[in-house]
């Protein structure tokens, strides 16, 4: 069965939730899930909020749908703004929202 999802609509909805949440973030699995190899998750972060350092679960990219984010891995830093596609390094990393931001995280999990 073919499906269609409005990423723009989801981004707007979850950014509004993130702005109100005490954590400053909201997430929604768009495709796949923990039982699948491929997983796509929309993550909204209010400006100044971050996802603390964590492991990379497999090959992963981050598409910036809205805003400005900073991806940090050790001493390396990569910035992304609306429309950018960032490759997530295969090591511990964190993500920081410079401004209110929404990203689409795509992960192809590997067995580790």
Place of tokens 């596609």: 85
Considering the domain boundaries, does residue 34 fall inside one?
A: yes
DSSP output for 17-67: HHHHSTTSEEEEEEE--TTSSEEEEEEEE-TT-EEEEE---EEEEEEEEES
Domain that residue 86 falls in = 7-109
The confidence score (pLDDT) of residue 2 equals 81
Question: Greater confidence, 24 or 57?
Answer: 24
Is the dihedral angle over the CA atoms 31, 79, 45, 50 positive or is it negative? positive
pLDDT at residue 12 is higher than 90: yes
In the structure encoding, which two tokens stand for residue 45, read together? 């972060």
Considering the domain boundaries, does residue 2 fall inside one?
A: no
Domain count, the chain: 1
pTM for this prediction: 0.91
The confidence score (pLDDT) of residue 111 equals 63
Considering the domain boundaries, does residue 1 fall inside one?
A: no
Distance CA 31, CA 18 (A): 20
The confidence score (pLDDT) of residue 90 equals 87
Question: Greater confidence, 74 or 57?
Answer: 74
Report the CATH number that the domain containing residue 98 is assigned in CATH.
Answer: 2.60.120.10
pLDDT at residue 42 is higher than 60: yes
Lowest mean pLDDT among 35-39, 81-85, 90-94, 104-108: 35-39
pLDDT at residue 112 is higher than 60: no
């Amino acid at each position: 069965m073919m499906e269609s999802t409005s990423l723009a609509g989801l981004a707007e909805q979850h950014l509004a939730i993130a702005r109100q949440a005490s954590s400053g973030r909201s997430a929604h699995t768009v495709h796949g899930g923990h039982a699948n190899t491929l997983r796509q998750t929309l993550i909204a972060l209010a400006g100044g909020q971050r996802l603390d350092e964590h492991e990379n679960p497999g090959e992963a990219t981050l598409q910036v749908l809205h805003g400005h984010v900073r991806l940090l891995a050790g001493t390396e830093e990569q910035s992304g703004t609306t429309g950018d596609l960032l490759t997530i390094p295969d090591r511990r990393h964190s993500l920081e929202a410079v401004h209110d931001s929404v990203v689409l995280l795509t992960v192809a999990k590997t067995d580790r």
